[in-house]
Amino acid sequence: MPVVIDHRPGKQVTPQPRQRRDPAPSRLQYRLERMWLTPLYRRILRVGIPAFVLAMVAGLWLADEDRRALLRDGLNSVVQKVQSREEFQVRTMAIEGASPVVEKALRAMLPVDLPASSFDIDLAALRLQVMQLDAVETIDLRIKPGGILSAQVVERKPAILWRHSRGIEILDDTGHRVASVTSREVRPELPLISGEGADLVTEEALALFDAAGPILPRVRGLVRRGERRWDLVLDFGQRIMLPEKGALVALEAAIALHRAEDMLGRDIVSVDLRDPSRPVLRLGIDARNTIREARGLPLLGPDGNVLPDNEG
C-alpha cells in the first residue's frame, strides 16, 4: 500500500473527436488489389508459389542419399510391420476334393512355407500354376478367416485310354489329358482308342462305345483312321470300318445285322460300312476255302494266294 494516497480528482479526459480514417485505399493498396484480381497473378500466388515451395523443400530434403535411404527403410519397415501382423498370417492349407497325388503336388507348389503373411501369397499366380496340372479341372483358392488357405479342387474324371506312338494316356470326356499309364492293364475298365488325332474326338468315341452295347465284351478298341473316321476293332482281328459321317448310325446298323444274323460270329474279317448304302463284308480264308471247295476251285493259302495244286 502506498504511503501517500492521492485523493485529487483524475485528470479531465476530453474525448478527442475520433479521426475518421480515409476510406479510400492508398494507391499501393489499390494497385495490389487490382493485381490480386488479375487471374494470372491469382493463380500464381495461390497455386504456383505453394506448389513450388513444397517441391523445393521436398527436393532439398531428398537430395541427400542417406535421407532417401532412411525414408525408404522407414516405409519398408512400416509396410512389413503391417503385413506381418497376426491377423494376416496364413497357418494351414485345406485342400478339398483332390486325390493324394494332386494334393501332394499342390502343397509342393505353394511358394512359401506356412505360416506366412497373406500378402506374400499371390493367389492368382498360384491358381494359374495349379491349372497347369492336367489332373485338375478347376480350383477355387481363397484365404479364409482364421488363417486358412482353402483350395477347392475339382479333378478331371478319367473316361478313356488313348494309345499313341509315345505311350498310353488317360483322357477325360473332353479329350484333355489326365495322366499317363504304363500299360493297358492298369485301367482295364476304360475303353481304348488309338491313332493320331483320336483325342480330339473323344466324345464321338465315347458315344460309339455306348452304342456298341451287345458286342462290348468283344470290342478291343477304336482306331482313328487318317484323322477322319473310326475303325471298331473286335477280337479275332475283326474290324468294323465306320464312315466319316453318321458313324453311330452305321454302327447301330451293323449291330442290328449281328443280332439278326449273328454276323460277327461268322468267319468275317471286316465289315466295311464306309459307304452306308453299300455295306461290304470281307470273308475269312476258311470261309472262302469252304466255298471254293464246294465249287471245286483250288484252295487259298493263309496269305490269300491260290495254293499250288499238290495233289497232282
Partner 1 sequence: MVELYQTQRAMRNIRRAALQRGVIGILDIGTSKIACLVLRVDSNGTFRATDGVGPMAGQVNFRVIGAASTRSRGMRRGEIETMAETERAIRTVVAAAQKVAGVRIDHVIACLSGGRPASYGLAGEITLASGQVGEHDVALVLAACETPDFGRGREVLHAQPVNFAVDNRTNLADPRDHLGNKLFCDMHVLTVDGDVIGNLVQCIRRCDLELAGIASAPYASARASLVEDEQELGAACIDFGGGGTGVSVFIKKHMIFSDHVPIGGNLITQDIAQGLRVSLPVAERLKTLNGGVEATGRDDHDMIDVGSDTSEWEADRRHVSRADVIGIMRPRVEEILESAREVLDAAGFDYMPSQQIVLTGGGSQIPGLDGLAARILGPNVRCGRPLRIDGLAHQLTDPSFSSAVGLALFAAHPQDEWWDFEMPADRYPARSLRRAYRWFKNNW
Cβ closer to partner 1: 19 or 277? Answer: 19
Window 116 to 155, contacts with partner 1 (CB under 8 A): none
Q: End-to-end CA distance of the chain, in Å? A: 172
**Span of 29-37, 195-203, 209-217, 277-285 interacting with partner 1 by CB under 8 A:** 29-37
Cβ closer to partner 1: 33 or 140? Answer: 33
Least gap, CB of 44 to partner 1 (angstroms): 15
Cβ closer to partner 1: 14 or 132? Answer: 14
Place of cell 501517500: 4
Least gap, CB of 20 to partner 1 (angstroms): 12
Per DSSP, which regions of the chain are E strands?
89-90, 92-96, 116-117, 136-144, 148-155, 160-164, 167-171, 177-181, 192-194, 219-225, 229-234, 239-241, 268-272, 280-283
Residue 40 sits in the site that holds partner 1 (CB under 8 A) = no
- Tell me which amino acid residue 90 is: V
Cα separation, 265 vs 114, in Å, equals 64
Residue 37 sits in the site that holds partner 1 (CB under 8 A) = yes
Cα separation, 3 vs 122, in Å, equals 90
Residue 23 sits in the site that holds partner 1 (CB under 8 A) = yes
Torsional class of 221: left (φ above 0), alpha (ψ -120 to 50), beta (otherwise): left
- What's CA 275's distance to the chain center, in Å? 42
Least gap, CB of 25 to partner 1 (angstroms): 5
By CB under 8 A, the count of residues binding partner 1 is: 11
| Residue of 11, 18, 20, 27 that binds partner 1 (CB under 8 A) | 27
**Span of 31-39, 104-112, 165-173, 301-309 interacting with partner 1 by CB under 8 A:** 31-39
Cα separation, 308 vs 312, in Å, equals 9
Q: Interface with partner 1 by CB under 8 A: which residues?
A: 22-25, 27, 30-31, 33-34, 37-38
